[in-house]
Amino acid sequence: MIDTPTPAAEDTPDADVLRRLRWRCRRGLLENDLFIDRFFEQHGTGLTNPLVQGLLQLMDLSDNDLLDLLLARKEPQDELDNAEVRRVLSLMRVPQT
C-alpha cells in the first residue's frame, strides 16, 4: 500500500468539492466502482487539489478506457500523461505481487 501524506490545508479541497467529486466518480461498470471506492476508502482524507484534478481527468474517460488504465492494460497518453493522473493511477491500481 502506498501511504498518502497528510496534505497542507491550502492544498486540500473543501467538503463540498469532495462530495461532488464522489458523485462524479460514480461509474456504469461495477469494476470501476470497486477501484474508485477502495481509492476513496484508503486515500479520501488525504486528497489534494492536484489529485482531485487527476481524478477528474480520469472521470472524463469512457468506462472501458478507464478500466484499461486501472488494470494497467494501457498507460496514459497525450493530455492524460501528466503527474496528477499518474499519481492517481498509482494509488488506484492493485499492486502486483
pLDDT digits (tens, 9 = 90+) for 4-14: 555 555 578 88
Task: Name the packing angle between helices 49-59 and 63-70 (round to 10°).
Answer: 130
Strands of 1-97 (E only): list them. Answer: none
Nearest to 61 by CA among 31, 32, 96, 95: 32
The set of residues, in sequence order, having a beta carbon less than 8 Å from that of 74 and lying 6+ positions away, is 65, 68
Task: Give 29-42 pLDDT, tens digit per residue.
Answer: 999 999 999 999 99
How far, in whole angstroms, is CA 60 from its chain's centroid? 12
**Structural domain spans, the chain:** 12-92
Q: Which cell numbers hold the place of 81?
A: 500523461
The set of residues, in sequence order, having a beta carbon less than 8 Å from that of 5 and lying 6+ positions away, is 46
CATH number of 12-92: 1.10.150.250
Confidence of residue 17 (pLDDT cuts 50, 70, 90): confident
